[in-house]
Each structure stands twice: as C-alpha cells, then as structure tokens.
Amino acid sequence: MRRAAQLWFSSLRVITNRIASEGQHLPTAAALRPACSTWQTAWRVADLWHRDYTRMATDNYVLPEQWSEDLKDEKGEPMSKSEFKRRQKAQRVAAEKAEKEAAKAAAAAAAPPKPAKEDGPALEDDSNEITDPTAYFENRVRYINAKKAKGVNPYPHKFHVSMSLPDYIAKYGSLESGQQETESTVSVAGRIFSKRASGSKLLFYDLKADGVKIQIMADARNSELSLEAFTAVHNECKRGDIVGVEGFPGKSKKGELSIFPRKFVLLSPCLHMPPSAHFGLKDQETRYRQRYLDLIVNSDVRSIFQTRSRIIQFVRRFLDTRGFLEVETPMMNMIPGGAAARPFITHHNDLDMKLYMRIAPELFLKMLVIGGLERVYEIGRQFRNEGIDLTHNPEFTTCEFYQAYADYKDLLDMTETMVSQMVLELKGSYKIQYHPEGPEKPAIEIDFTPPWRRISMVSGLEECLGIKLPTDLESEEARQLLADLCVKHNVNCPAPQTTARLLDKLVGEFLEEQCVNPTFICDHPQLMSPLAKWHRELPNMTERFELFINKREVCNAYTELNDPIKQRELFQDQAKAKSAGDDEAMFIDDNFCTALEYGLPPTGGWGMGIDRMTMLLTDTCNIKEVLLFPAMKPEENGPKKEGDS
C-alpha cells in the first residue's frame, strides 16, 4: 500500500511539472519569487509524510468518450461540459500514471501495483499534493489568477467570525461523542493543518487558530452547495490555507470536537507548500528569518511570546499599582549616556546633525524625577552596537524605574517581591526547571523563594580568594594586585587592564558563578559605578546591587548619585579612562550635571533586562528565541536553500 502511494505520487509530480511548464506564460507566476529556503526542506518533509497515506476512491462510474447535454454523473446529476473535461483529463492522468507505474514496477521487478482508481468527482486531500515546491507554487498562482480572470476575488474582504476557537472549545468541548447541535450556527476561521478525504462526500480538516485546534467535518450533505460545487470548493482548498467556516457544532463518533460546515470559504490561499505539522520546522536560521512559519508550525513558539507579553504586563501592573508613571524618553540623542557601551550612530538630514541611538534611558528618567515626577518608569528598546551572541542582540528591551526617597535597600526588597511574584504568577511555583545548555542537556532547578542571598562584592571576593584587597582601590598597588590575581587564577582580562575591568573579570569568574538561584551581588566599588551613590558605611563602595540568576545579570540598581559635584568628578574619571583606551567608558553629559544642580531628591533607580527574564521563564538559552525578529547576519547570495545541502 505504501509503495503504491509512492508510485502514484511520482507520477503525479511528472504531470504537475508538465502543467507547470505550460503555465510559464503567466507573467505573475514567473514574477513571483521562486523557491525560497523553507520549502526546500518542507517539501521533502511533506513528501515523506504523504507516503503514510493512501488515496481512497470508491466509486465505479464510467465516463463516456463524448460529452452530451443529457450526460449524468454517478449520482444521476447532470454533468457540465467543464466537469466532463476535467474528468476526461483526470482519466488521462490516471492512464499516464498507470503507464508510469507499470514501467516502474517492471524496472523494480516488484509486485504488480494496484490499479489506482481515478474515477468520479474525486475529493483531493493532502495525499495528492504536488510534491515539487516550484510546481506547487506555480500551480497555486495559476489557480488564483484563474479565479481573478473569472472575476472572482481569491482574497475575500471579510468573513464574519462569531466565535474564536478557544471560545468554541470552551463552549462545545463537553458535547457527547456523536452529538450534534444542528440548530446552532457558528462561524469560525483559521488555518488548515491537514486535509483527509473519505469517499466522495466527506472531508476531515484540522483547523488551527489562537494556538488551538478543532476538526472540520465537511459533509456534502450538510453543505448548501451541490455535490459538484462542494467538490470544487473543497478541491480548491489545500493544507496551509486560511478558511472561514459557518456551520453547526458537534462531535464525531470518535469524540473529536468538530464543526459541520454549511458554508466553507477559502479566505487566503497558502501559495507555498507549508512545512508539515508532523515533522515541523527545526532549522534555526529559517525559524528566525521566517518567524511567521515558525509560529505557524511550532506551537510552543507562540507561547514564548505570550509569556514575554505577560512578563511585561506583570511589570507594568506591579509598577502602576505602586503609583509609577510610564513615560517615554528619546531614543536618539546628542550624547549616549546612562551606561557604558558602544552606540549606534545616525544622522538627521534636515538638521544635518549626528545622533546616537540611546544605550540607556537613565539620565532622562532622572531628569524627570528632578522635574517632580517622583516615580517614573520606561519599558523600551535600547541599542548597543555590539556583537551578536546567545545573550546579546543589538536592540533589546529593558525596564528602568526611578523612585524618589527610596534607596537600594528598598529596591532589594522590591526586586525580590516583584520577581518572585512574577515567577509564581506565571509558573505557578517559586521553583522552575531550566535547561542552561539547551533542551538536550540536563535541567537545573532555580528557586525563587524569597529571601535571596546577598553577597557584598569585595568582601565576597576576598573570602573567595582568601586575600585582602587594599582599601584604596584606586591605587596602582590595588590594580597590580588584581592583575596578579587574574594571572594566578588564569582569568583573562583583555587590555586595558583598568581596576574596574580586572575586578569585573574576577567577580565574573568567582562570584557570578555561584549565582544560580537568584542572588544579589552588592556594594560595587565606586570606580565601577559612576552613576551610583557612595556607600553610607563602606568607604569607596557604592550602594548598588546586581541581581544574578543562572549566573547572568538580570537587574542592576542603585541609590542614585545625586551630588552634582561628585557626579562631575566621576564623569571626569570616565573621560580619563576613555582617553586611556577604554572605549566602554561613559560619555559626559553636561546637561545632566546641570539638571542635578537643581536638586535630584534621594532616589533609587532600577533596571531589568526583559529579554533575559523572558529567557528564564520560557526555558530558552538563546536570546533569539525570545525576540520575534532577532538580528541576523545578512544572507549570503540571497536566501539559503537547505535543500541544496
């Protein structure tokens, strides 16, 4: 049986290729882009899948050689000339196919193939899909052009949907097997994921929308159309198409929730062979470059972005209920301030002005606090002109908030509350499973149960390394000691080996490594934190913390430095570091310093990387998985074709 289906398929491909070449004169078909990367994989997959199916044709009806006015079909219904021609062609196809099969069979010296039945108004389904992607595409373009030529719009303007699929399932999911509510009329719409014909009057479709699926049981007897028209409508519809269905709800005898259509409208044909739902779409490049395909095929992808949206919603609600005001500050600035990173540069033509894309909204948000908006936050995009890797994308989303009269201790508590509640609300538990090295490698458990561990940075490092760092970290002696430690422990710190950079590397190696469960690393030295306020107790340190989860920084917060004199001094140090070759040192923003002179209240400021938080809660370890359209390297020589490999 399997074999027969395969033979039947290869013959079909020959035919459709021939049809396709006949269709070359159609300019639109030729103009549309030919094979793109995904279907090369897709068709092979689809082809394989089809081999699991055989075609079922049951009727015995002999088509006469000539059409006549009174010609009847197998049901005794009058047959139109076009239908007669179609069938004639089908017969010819069958004949050719039989020929081919015979040839193949002979060549292979295999068992004689079953003669395929190709009579009657056959309902086509997934098993008779054209398997060559180019032919498939051209065939469908020809189909829509033919419709247009007949004055029929293949892309209807509107289909009224009375119920979403999730609502449909909620409402009718409890029907008994075999039960039908023929009195109700419901209209739903979505994408066809599979199509199976059963005889000449019945079709089963899987219809998906909003991440859920129901069955369409299209029975000619329920249709408003004649059998001929019913067959025509359904033969036009292929896997991947968007359809609208109006009918009544019910369950099949096997208990599958279905809709029984009275009306079935093709709303938007899928011109390409869709990747098979069965084998999915695994190639990462294709998944990111053609996210829409990824979303169609891989249902868990959809839930990643739903979770992302819920995380942002949670943060908004958390801050809104605490009296914070959401604001928007510029993404293009004269000076890229608020962080240390290489900015994107652009140019405003009309003003003939160089502008930088923001690297952080910090300085603007603090200016709003100076202006009297005591609790502000911004959730938005930041831009850093850096390389792309598993945790970095050139544009990423952060939330920063500023709260007047709060300090970093308040923010430590607030962070614990916010993040642990978020995890509890989204995951139903404080403890989550996470695969830090991908789904194939072992999982770890991350426990968000508050309170979380707090490590004071320098004393933590001293304890870890069994040394004592000098009080004056600014001294050359301290720098040298750190450099020696790096050498001793084999920690690589590329030039320039400033104290801040050396410390950062050591902390990364020895402290961050301990932070699998949420852990605060606190009290950073001032020289690493030019915007944070000096610590009220620990000399040369600041009131700052970073939250690490799974060894990665997720939050960064501090009591804001609001002494304008001190701020200018620290900016000067940054300028010195910059001229000494540290291109990650901060730019000086004089306007910001002036604003500070008008008085910034004592303020706690906080930032969170939304992408990294989303990675944790969606169990993904590549930032591209949580960005709908991640930045990608340019494709070499146009779209890559996996089929070639």
Q: Which is nearer to another protein, 409 or 576 (CB)?
A: 409
Q: Is 150 near another protein (CB under 8 A)?
A: no
Indicate which single residue of 270, 341, 424, 464 sits in contact with another protein (rule: CB under 8 A). Answer: 270
The DSSP symbol for 396 reads E
Q: Which residues contact 529 (CB under 8 A, 6 or more apart)?
A: 542, 544, 558
From CA 588, how far away is CA 591, in angstroms rounded?
9
Under the binding rule (CB under 8 A), the answer on residue 563 touching another protein is yes
With beta carbons less than 8 A apart as the criterion, state whether 163 and 212 touch.
no
**Helix axes of 37-50 and 133-149: crossing angle, nearest 10 degrees:** 100
DSSP string, 41-101: HHHHHHHHHHTT------------SS--TT-B-TTS-B--HHHHHHHHHHHHHHHHHHHHH
Residue placing its CB nearer to another protein in the complex, 331 or 444: 331
Q: Give the CA distances from residue 458 to residues 524, 530, 539, in Å, rounded to whole numbers and listed in that order.
A: 7, 17, 11
Among residues 76 and 292, whose Cβ is nearest to another protein? 292
Tell whether residue 559 is a contact of another protein (CB under 8 A).
yes
Instruction: Please report whether residue 609 would count as binding another protein according to CB under 8 A.
Output: no
- With respect to another protein, which residue has the nearer C-beta, 36 or 485? 36
What part of residues 467-496 is at the interface with another protein (CB under 8 A)?
none
CB of 321 to another protein, least distance (A): 12
Rounded to an integer, what is the distance from CA 114 to the centroid of its chain?
A: 46
Write down the least CB distance from residue 600 to another protein, Å: 6
Residue partners of 384: CB distance under 8 A and separation at least 6? 341, 342, 343, 344, 359, 392, 394, 396
Q: Which is nearer to another protein, 581 or 602 (CB)?
A: 602
Least separation, in Å, of the C-beta of 527 and another protein? 19
Sign, Cα dihedral of 489, 490, 495, 501: negative
CA distance 403 to 496: 35
Q: Is 328 in the site for another protein (CB under 8 A)?
A: yes
**Range 286-325, binding another protein (CB under 8 A):** 289-296, 302, 305-306, 309, 312-313, 316, 320, 323, 325
329-368: contacts with another protein (CB under 8 A): 329-332, 342, 344-351, 353, 355, 357, 364, 367-368
**Sole binder of another protein in the list 45, 507, 595, 615 (CB under 8 A):** 595
Residue 87 beta carbon to another protein: minimum distance, rounded to whole angstroms: 29
Kindly state the smallest distance separating residue 596's Cβ from another protein, in Å: 8
Cα atoms in the Cβ-side hemisphere of radius 13 Å centred on 136: 26
- Binding test (CB under 8 A) with another protein, winner from 564, 568, 575, 578: 564
Within 369-408, which residues bind another protein (CB under 8 A)?
370-375, 380-381, 383, 385-388, 394-395, 397, 404-407
* 3-class secondary structure, 194: strand
139 binds another protein (CB under 8 A): no
* CB 590 within 8 Å of CB 568: no
Q: Cα torsion for 105, 106, 111, 114, to the nearest 10°? A: 50
Taking the complex as a whole, how short is the minimal distance between the CB of residue 516 and another protein, in angstroms? 28
Question: Considering only residues 205-264, where is the footprint of another protein by CB under 8 A?
Answer: 208-211, 240-242, 244
* Tokens read off for 449: 């149960």
What residues numbered 157-216 form the site for another protein, per CB under 8 A?
A: 157-161, 164, 189, 191, 208-211
CB of residue 101 vs another protein: minimum separation in angstroms? Answer: 33
Parallel, antiparallel or unpaired: strands 453-456 and 519-522? parallel
Judged by CB under 8 A, the stretch of 61-69, 89-97, 120-128, 154-162 that binds another protein is 154-162
**Site membership for another protein, residue 327 (CB under 8 A):** yes
In this structure, what DSSP letter does residue 292 have? H
Q: Is 325 helix (H, G, I), strand (E, B) or coil?
A: strand
Distance CA 318, CA 421 (A): 10
Q: What is the dihedral of CA 288, 291, 296, 301, to 10 degrees?
A: 60
Of residues 520-539, those binding another protein (CB under 8 A)? 533, 536
Residue 77, C-beta contacts closer than 8 angstroms, at least 6 positions apart: 226, 227, 228
With respect to another protein, which residue has the nearer C-beta, 241 or 546?
Answer: 241
Element (H, E) at 242: strand 242-251
Nearer to another protein, 164 or 497 (CB): 164
- Compute the least distance from the CB of residue 597 to another protein, in Å: 4
Span from 116-124, 140-148, 213-221, 414-422 in contact with another protein (CB under 8 A): 140-148
Binding residues with another protein: total (CB under 8 A): 122
CB of 26 to another protein, least distance (A): 10
Comparison of 175 and 332: residue with beta carbon closer to another protein: 332
Nearest-approach distance from CB 123 to another protein, in angstroms:
21
Considering beta carbons, is residue 416 or 543 the nearer one to another protein? 543
Residues 24-53 that bind another protein (CB under 8 A): 28, 31-33, 36
Site for another protein in 64-103 (CB under 8 A): none
> What residues does 325 pair with on adjacent strands?
376
With contact defined as beta carbons under 8 Å apart, do 34 and 138 qualify?
no
Tokens of 97: 């196919």
Name the residue nearer to another protein (CB basis): 50 or 238.
238
Residue placing its CB nearer to another protein in the complex, 328 or 463: 328
If one counts every other C-beta atom within 10 angstroms of the C-beta of residue 278, the result is: 14
